[in-house]
């Protein structure tokens, strides 16, 4: 509610999760171990801010996905609308979202980098899910829901990435549908993974974060700080160009603040997990 008691719409899943954690007891999706909670936050940020590039790219780059998005999204807002009303809304949505691609970083220069990273990630997640049912162990963390959110589009809706996932990583498709309904899933504190003995599959996912997302975050933050018109850098050995993204510069700041706020012992444990993943460049710059 606002100051006058009226309803207001709120967005941004990360602060909403923290708000709900304060307002409701039990079934937390933030690990009780502060070191693991930081790793969860890091992967949540990767899901929210990097995987969204793949989601947005696939939906608004390929003709079949553009058509489906434009055809279906307006009908969700009014299933009985006559066609002459739906048509201009469809065109508006398509035009608006395609125009946003410059901020996401989807273009002919970056296309291969986005798609290669997406394919690497789904294979890494697929392998991780053979060890445990969630990123954070036997129960989901905030990072699981961040990844799930992007994959609801990539696996369940948009035809181009859906075909890739079904052909190469059907376990990931099944996982997304499983996470869709966890209301009866029983959890205990012992279900969190042991960060002092993490599965190699988790470290492999973190290495992907260090390979692609960490250098992007640093390059974007530099462009924002310098008030550059364009972010132009090399990413994963290829050219990368997009409009600077102020919000994602804030994401880097929040990650650094969370890392600095860890107790010395917990920070040391985090450092041990992140060693040789490439992620530490975020906190050493």
Residue 200 and residue 246: Cα distance in Å, rounded? Answer: 34
Residue with tokens 């008691």: 5
What are the residue boundaries of the structural domains of the chain, listed by start? Answer: 13-185+198-284
Segment 8-64, tens digit of pLDDT: 888 889 999 999 999 999 999 999 999 999 999 999 999 999 999 999 999 999 999
Phi and psi at 129, nearest 5°, equal: -70, -10
Nearest to 241 by CA among 114, 116, 61, 52: 114
Q: What is the CATH number of domain 13-185+198-284?
A: 1.20.1050.10
Dihedral Cα 213, 245, 262, 15, nearest 10 deg: -110
Reply yes or no on whether the pLDDT at 261 is more than 70: yes
Longest CA span, the chain: 63
Reply yes or no on whether the pLDDT at 285 is more than 70: no
What is the per-residue pLDDT for 5?
Answer: 84
Nearest to 255 by CA among 1, 80, 50: 50
- Global confidence as pTM: 0.94
Helix orientation angle between 111-128 and 200-208, rounded to the nearest 10 degrees = 170
Nearest to 115 by CA among 58, 159, 155: 58
Beta bridge partners of 192: 137
């Amino acid at each position: 509610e606002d100051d006058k008691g009226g309803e207001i719409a709120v967005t941004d899943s990360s602060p909403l999760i923290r708000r709900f954690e304060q307002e409701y007891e039990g079934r937390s999706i933030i690990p009780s171990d502060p070191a693991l909670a930081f790793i969860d936050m890091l992967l949540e940020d990767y899901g929210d801010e990097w995987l969204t590039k793949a989601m947005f790219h696939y939906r608004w780059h390929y003709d079949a996905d553009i058509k489906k998005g434009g055809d279906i999204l307006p009908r969700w807002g009014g299933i009985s609308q006559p066609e002459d009303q739906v048509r201009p809304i469809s065109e508006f949505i398509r035009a608006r979202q395609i125009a946003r691609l410059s901020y996401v970083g989807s273009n002919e220069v970056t296309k291969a980098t986005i798609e290669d990273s997406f394919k690497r990630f789904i294979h890494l997640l697929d392998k991780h899910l053979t060890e445990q049912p969630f990123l954070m162990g036997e129960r989901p963390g905030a990072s699981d829901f961040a990844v799930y959110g992007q994959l609801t589009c990539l696996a369940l809706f948009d035809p181009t990435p859906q075909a890739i996932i079904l052909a190469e990583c059907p376990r990931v498709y099944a996982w997304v549908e499983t996470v869709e309904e966890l209301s009866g899933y029983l959890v205990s504190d012992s279900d969190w993974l042991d960060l002092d003995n993490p599965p190699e599959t988790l470290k492999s996912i973190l290495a992907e974060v260090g390979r692609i997302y960490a250098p992007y975050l640093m390059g974007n933050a530099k462009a924002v700080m310098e008030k550059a018109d364009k972010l132009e850098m090399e990413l994963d050995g290829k050219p990368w160009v997009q409009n600077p993204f102020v919000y994602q510069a804030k994401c880097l700041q929040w990650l650094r603040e969370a890392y600095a706020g860890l107790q010395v012992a917990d920070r040391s444990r985090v450092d041990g997990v992140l060693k040789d993943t490439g992620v530490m460049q975020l906190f050493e710059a």
